[in-house]
Amino acid sequence: MEQNLESSAWNMVSEVELIYKSKVKASDRSFIKSSVDMVNALRNFYDENTIELQEAFYVMYLNRGFRVLGIYKVSESGKQVLLQIRD
């Protein structure tokens, strides 16, 4: 009986649930209508004192309604920024 319980334990799986709730309402997020709106949104995240010294690569996440979900700095370097494109 004990051996039967141990052998059946291999098919038991733990469940993990990850939930993210934004503190910002969808209506309060920045709306991107043009490239000028995108530049203005990105300038809030970039340090104006280092814009001529360092190169950086940012990703802006938008929803289907062109509202900003988030901005992520991928890489920053002095001469060049290297990216690893993954499948």
Distances (CA, A) of 6 to 13, 15, 55: 14, 20, 56
- Rounded CA gap, 18 and 24, in Å? 19
Q: Residues 57, 75: contact at Cβ < 8 Å?
A: yes
Report the pLDDT value the prediction gives residue 75, as an integer from 0 to 100.
83
The answer to whether position 82 is within a domain reads: yes
13 domain-assigned: no
Q: What angle do CA 61, 38, 77 make, to 5 degrees?
A: 75
User: How many domains in the chain?
Assistant: 1
Confidence of residue 5 (pLDDT cuts 50, 70, 90): low
Copy the structure tokens of residue 6: 């141990």
Q: Is residue 7 part of a domain?
A: no
Span 9-66, pLDDT tens digits: 667 777 889 888 888 888 888 899 999 999 999 888 888 887 778 888 889 999 999 9
Q: Which domain holds residue 72?
A: 25-87
What pLDDT shows up at residue 6? 58
- Residue 14 located in a structural domain: no
